[in-house]
Amino acid sequence: MSFAEQEEIWERLDQLAEHETVSGFALAYYELIADYLAGGGRNARALRLRLLEFLEIMERYHRALQVFTVEDQVTLGNVRSAAEKRDIGLRVLLEQLSVDDARGDAEIGRLLLSAECHYQLGMIEMVVARLEEAVKAGADHPAVLFALGYNRYELATQAFTRYNPDTGTREVDDQDRFRLACLSAVRAFQDGLTGGDFDGQMHWWIGNILRAAGFEDAAQASFAKAAEVFARPSLHAEVEISEELGLDSREDWEYQKSTIAGPITEDEVRRAAELLRRSYSASDILDWG
């Protein structure tokens, strides 16, 4: 990768980082894609141009959201319009990525970028398929395996649970198939274990998914392993990694299946805009007291 290309990619990433609507994990994932596409050759260079196009699409989208919040113009129509423009760009980009030819690290970068485009479009089944291809091609970075485990679990939730409007929660429809799908997600997280401090995050998510699948004893064992990692003298490294990836590092902050479903109202969108304009400390959000 030439210095000019590297500078342009990092400039785009810096622009994205200015938006509060972009997660730390997303930024770390995009940087990882850039690393895989850093090699020489015409194919790698063409894919770097695809990455730049993707970053431009996402920056326009998040910039539009920011404008809406600043100008107090957040409505379902405005948000939908911004999302539709983003989606059109991502679908065109996916068509281009589908015909691009690459090998080695560049192919991994192509697959990871394709997975992210599908993720933004809400096509979780395709996200899982592309991430699995990337892993088979040699992607073994913990962030990739974290994303695979997370999206396998999200796919299990979509496929085998349903929203109950009376209770406001999601309920499992097919316990056996849900459990099998959860165990597949757990395997991805386990494959991401490296013996380093980030293992705490992996064990923590393994515990939550095992709990959701009904394996409480195994879940508690995973929470205990996470606690051991979090208690290491090198915990500061875990915190730094977690903050970089936009993850929570408290082992006792346990995941609950989402209670959000059904149509989003105009009032909810306006309320979200108000919240985006405010600043919070970690203790405000997590009530650490």
pLDDT in tens, 237-254: 444 445 444 454 443 333
The pLDDT assigned to 232 comes to 82
Residue 246's pLDDT is: 47
pLDDT of residue 113: 98
CA dihedral over 76, 79, 85, 87, signed as positive or negative:
negative
| CA–CA distance, 10 with 37 (Å, rounded to integer) | 13
Which one is predicted more confidently, 3 or 123? 123
Reply yes or no on whether the pLDDT at 27 is more than 70.
yes
pLDDT band at 288 (very low <50, low <70, confident <90, very high): very low
Rounded distance between C-alpha atoms, residue 230 and residue 254, angstroms: 15
Beta strands in the chain (DSSP E): 161-164, 169-172
Give the per-residue pLDDT at 169. Answer: 84
Q: What is the mean pLDDT of residues 74-99?
A: 90
pLDDT of residue 267: 53
Mean pLDDT, range 200-219, rounded to an integer: 95
Q: Are 125 and 151 in contact (CB under 8 A)?
A: no
pLDDT at 4: 79
In the chain, the amino acid numbered 252 is D
pLDDT of residue 65: 85
Computed over every residue of the chain, the mean pLDDT equals 83
Query: Percent of the chain scored above 90 by pLDDT?
Result: 62
> How many whole angstroms separate alpha carbon 168 and alpha carbon 229?
35
Q: Taking residues 121-128, what's their average pLDDT?
A: 96
User: Pick the residue with more confidence: 47 or 76?
Assistant: 47
pLDDT of residue 36: 95
Residue pLDDT, tens place only, 171-202: 999 999 999 999 999 999 999 999 988 899 89
pLDDT at 237: 45
Measured distance CA(248)–CA(127) in Å, rounded: 23
Q: What is the pLDDT of residue 67?
A: 82
> Which pair of tokens denotes residue 179?
């459990």
Q: How many CB atoms lie within 10 A of CB 18?
A: 11
Q: What pLDDT score does 270 carry?
A: 52
> What's the CA gap between 241 and 14, in Å, rounded?
18
**β partners of residue 161:** 172
pLDDT in tens, 127-172: 999 999 999 999 999 999 999 999 999 999 999 999 888 888 889 9
Q: What Cα–Cα distance (Å) separates residue 117 from each residue in 6, 30, 58, 91, 112?
A: 21, 11, 10, 8, 9
pTM of the predicted structure, to 2 decimals: 0.80
Q: Is the pLDDT of residue 264 over 70?
A: no
For the chain, give the percent of residues with pLDDT over 70.
Answer: 78
- pLDDT in the model for residue 254: 39
